[in-house]
A and B are shown apart, each in its own frame.
Chain A
Amino acid sequence: MLVDFQESEKDTVVECELCVIGAGPAGITIAREFQESDVRVCLVESGGLEADEKTQALCEGQNIGLPYFPLDHTRLRYFGGTTNHWAGQCAPLMKMDFEFRPWVPFSGWPITKSDLDLYYEKAIPIAHLGRNVFDERAWSFFDLEPPQFLQKKITHHFWQRSKNPIQEPEVMPLYYTPLRFGHIYKDELKNAENITVLLNANVTELSTGHKGQSVTHLNVSTLDGRHGRIKAKKFVLACGALENARLLLISNQANRQGIGNENDLVGRFFMEHPTTRCGILVGADEDAILEVYKMRFSEGMRYRPGMAMSEDVQIEEGCLNAACTFDPEEETHPGLKAARQIFHSMKEMKLPNNLTGHVWSILRDLGQISDYAFCRFKGNVYCSHVMHLYVRMEQAPTPDSRLMLSSERDALGLQRVNLDWRLKDIQRRTAKAMMKCLGSEFGRLKIGRIQLADWLQEDRDPEWDGSYHHMGTTRMSDDPKTGVVDPDCRVHGVHNLYIAGSSVFPTSGFVNPTFTIVALALRLADHLKSQLS
């Protein structure tokens, strides 16, 4: 059932066996796994069923490291969590992503990919994906010949886009809407007798016993000043990598450093997926290339191919896992721009402003215009386009990249966060190795040549972008000295507190995190079932 905590009695106390904090993909997946069981579950969500400015403002924080997006833009704080604005791109991490690599300090998961394979399989219908194929084999779904890269250099990799079974034509009529977890699974959770979804309930503290070895209850508040408590046998934090760490740090009654932070690890190792343009493809048939690498459909599901750096190259070059996609951008020649403006104005049966200026621009740019016209005449689509090579890579884990509590407070009186995002030189080295690999393979296969971006030519750092992916702040490790949670996702030293979501990732691979978040949530749900039965 759905309960709005704003309408509850004063000082309400909710009791259950399992309390899951955060109704995003991880929280919803865990709660769904307990449908029709004897376990009473309380799924606590800070927001309501729709976005709300005041609740969203609780996510605000400051960036004090590399330039990054405003923190309240990168996640959403209402039922369904950040899947309310995700692109739906899914793929599993690769085998090597889980392994220790001597050239990547702090790499290695305490579990292997085979420990997750079964859960990836189970996550497919939950994320509404197609077949469980994300590698070269996916080419067989389409009637085309991909470039035959040397496998020891470049391998093909596919993302799938989760499909929303309930399209939202009023929102984006021509767009393939990704799955919104809140939208799709709301009714199931509402109808489940053993599950209570508590909306507009903000957890303000995880209260532990005297020694801090177990969580006794949660303190919750609404923005209009109601307070309450939630008692449970087991608690799962599933609020995303920033809020998970923040809540552990804020909950410092028993231990000044916060929960699970005896070794000063909570909030450290923050990772993103650094992305940037690394060069352009020159001398190539853009249309032919994009025909191969465009987003395409098979059995109604959407697939997008990319080029990934092979394990051999990562080992040889001592670099990170990375992938490259094409990012065509139309060149804005002044003559072409002017011609288009005249064309659009004439379609509306009127003359454009500054007609003389436009005509002059066209006359001065006749060479480009005739090239463009000839290219279009030949039936090509991507004329006058620059083919950027867009690289996304894993971030090398480093304790210096971290979030900390700030002195500023939010509307609930809780300390906000400062994010100090930092990157190591290996990121630049990885981009360089990726371009070298692609450059040699594009040349060998006569696809074209690569012109490196200025920053790579000058051997300086680019302006890295993130991908709205937050990971690593409560990393998983066998050893409490190197991780916050154990391989079962239980906080070291706290017997009834678990963490779900990408904050437990020790390394990130280059793929989008949500599919792995769901797989790990399923694995955690299995563990909790065995504990609660």
Chain B
Amino acid sequence: MTRRQFVFVATLMATVGWAKASFWKRRFEEVLLGDPTQEGVTMDLRNSLNGIFSNAEAPRLLGERYLNDYPDGRTGSLALAEYLRQTGVPTSEGVKRMLAQKCESDFYRGDLVSIDGVLLARTEAEACALTILL
């Protein structure tokens, strides 16, 4: 092997190794620390949810009651967050629209929950719970 060939192969291997290491490092970060872009959406989702409630205290209280009264409320609420993330609509308006559609579907199907006797669409209660969970 000439000196020129050695330098070429070494450079190639180093490049491939670096690329591979970078790839796995990225996957590692994603799995253990979360996807930085998805994290951005979570931050936005929290802000967006806060943006659609005119009063911060009421949804917190409703959310607390919902999580307290309905044992599966946490799972359902996190599933709602996942659904909103997947739709990629981080603005308050977008989230509001998506929630309104889901609420309408809940009302249509009669999927209601009772919080302090008030009959709400399940999505309404889950959205309130997300103000605590996110």
Spell out A's residues near B (CB within 8 Å).
150, 153, 279, 282, 435-437, 439-441, 443-444, 449-454, 456-457
Contacts of B114 in A (CB 8 A): 452, 457
Residues of A within 8 A of B52 (CB): none
Show 26 residue pairs from A and B whose CB-CB distance is below 8 angstroms, ordered by the A residue: A153-B110, A282-B118, A435-B119, A436-B119, A437-B110, A439-B112, A439-B119, A440-B106, A440-B107, A440-B109, A440-B110, A443-B107, A443-B112, A443-B119, A443-B120, A443-B121, A444-B104, A444-B107, A449-B118, A449-B119, A449-B120, A451-B116, A452-B119, A457-B114, A457-B116, A457-B117
Interface residues of A: mostly helix, strand, loop or mixed? helix
Contacts of A453 in B (CB 8 A): 117
Across-interface contacts of B121 in A (CB, < 8 A)? 443
Chain B residues with CB below 8 A from A282, complex form = 118
Among residues of B, the one whose C-beta sits closest to the C-beta of A153 is B110
Tell which of A444, A449, A450, A457 touches B108, judged by Cβ atoms closer than 8 Å. Answer: A444
A436 to B106, CA, bound (A): 12
Interface size class of B (residues with CB under 8 A): 10 to 19
Q: How far is the CA of A377 from the CA of B106 in the complex (A)?
A: 37
Chain B stretch 89-134: residues in CB contact (< 8 A) with chain A? 103-104, 106-110, 112, 114, 116-121
Give A454 to B118 CA distance when docked, in angstroms: 11
The 7 closest A-B pairs by CB, nearest first: A439-B119, A444-B107, A443-B107, A452-B117, A457-B117, A440-B110, A440-B107
Across the interface, which residues of B come within 8 angstroms of A451, CB to CB?
116-119
B30 to chain A, nearest CB (A): 39
Residues from chain B with Cβ under 8 Å of A439 in the complex: 112, 119
Q: Which residue of A lies closest to B124 (CB)?
A: A443
CB neighbours (8 Å) of B118 from chain A are: 282, 449-452
Closest to A452 in B: B117
Name the residue of chain B whose CB is nearest to the CB of A458. Answer: B117
With A and B bound together, what is the CA distance between A454 and B116 in angstroms? 9
Q: Given contacts A440-B107, A443-B107, is CB(A456)–CB(B117) below 8 Å? A: yes
Residues of B within 8 A of A440 (CB): 106-110, 112, 119
- Chain A residues positioned under 8 Å from B120 (CB to CB): 443, 449
Report B43 CB to chain A, min CB distance, Å. Answer: 30
Contact B107 A441 (CB under 8 A): yes
Residues of chain B with a CB closer than 8 A to A457's CB? 114, 116-117
Complex Cα distance A9/B128, Å?
83
Report B39-58 CB contacts with A as 1/0, cut-off 8 Å.
Answer: 00000000000000000000
Best-surrounded residue of A440, A441, A452 (most CB of chain B within 10 A): A440
A444 to B116, CA, bound (A): 20
CB contacts (< 8 Å) of A436 on chain B: these are 110, 112, 119
- Does A454 lie within 8 Å of B112, measured CB to CB? no
Which of A279, A282, A451, A454: most chain B Cβ within 10 A? A451
A453–B118 Cα gap in the complex (Å)?
9
In the complex formed, the residue of B with least CB distance to A279 is: B117
Query: Nearest Cβ in chain B — how far from A140, in angstroms?
Result: 27
Instruction: Tell me the smallest distance from the CB of B58 to a CB of chain A, in Å.
Output: 12
Residues of A within 8 A of B107 (CB): 440-441, 443-444
Select the residue from A150, A444, A449 with max chain B CB neighbours within 10 A.
Answer: A444
Kindly provide the distance from the CB of A436 to the nearest chain B CB, expressed in whole angstroms: 6
Starting from the known contacts A439-B119, A449-B120, A452-B114, 9 additional A-B residue pairs (CB-CB under 8 Å) come to A435-B119, A440-B107, A440-B109, A443-B106, A444-B108, A450-B119, A452-B117, A452-B119, A456-B117
Docked pose: A312 CA to B106 CA in angstroms: 19
- Tell me whether A150 and B117 are in contact (CB under 8 A): no
* B124 CB, min distance to chain A CBs, angstroms: 8
Nearest B residue to A316 via CB reads B110
CB distance from A454 to the nearest CB of B (A): 7
Pick the most buried of B110, B120, B121: most chain A CB atoms within 10 A of its CB: B110
Chain B residues positioned under 8 Å from A150 (CB to CB): 108
A residues in contact with B104, CB < 8 Å: 444
Contacts of B117 in A (CB 8 A): 279, 451-454, 456-457
Alpha-carbon gap, A137 to B103, bound state (A): 30
Q: Which of B14-70 contact A (CB under 8 A)?
A: none
Q: How far is the CB of B131 from chain A (nearest CB, A)?
A: 19
A439, B110: Cα distance in complex, Å: 8
Query: How distant is B15 from chain A, measured CB to nearest CB, in Å?
Result: 60
Task: State how many angstroms separate the Cβ of B21 from the closest Cβ of chain A.
Answer: 54
Query: CA of A150 to CA of B108 in the docked complex: distance in angstroms?
Result: 9
Q: Which residues of A contact B108 (CB under 8 A)?
A: 150, 440, 444
Complex interface: chain A residues within 8 A of B109 (CB): 440
The interface residues of chain B lying within 8 Å CB-to-CB of A443 are 103, 106-107, 112, 119-121
Nearest A residue to B119, CB-CB = A439
Nearest-CB distance from B68 to chain A (Å)? 15
Cα of A143 to Cα of B28 in the assembled complex, Å:
67
B116 to chain A, nearest CB (A): 8
Bound state CA distance, A279 and B114, in angstroms? 12
Query: For the complex, what is the distance from the CA of A452 to the CA of B116, rounded to whole Å?
Result: 8
B14 → A minimal CB distance (Å): 63
Chain B residues near A454: list those with CB within 8 A: 117
B86 CB to closest chain A CB, in angstroms? 25
User: How far is A453 from B116 in the complex, measured between Cα atoms in Å?
Assistant: 10
> In the complex, what residues of B have CB within 8 A of residue A153's CB?
110
Q: How far is the CB of B119 from the nearest CB of chain A, in Å? A: 3
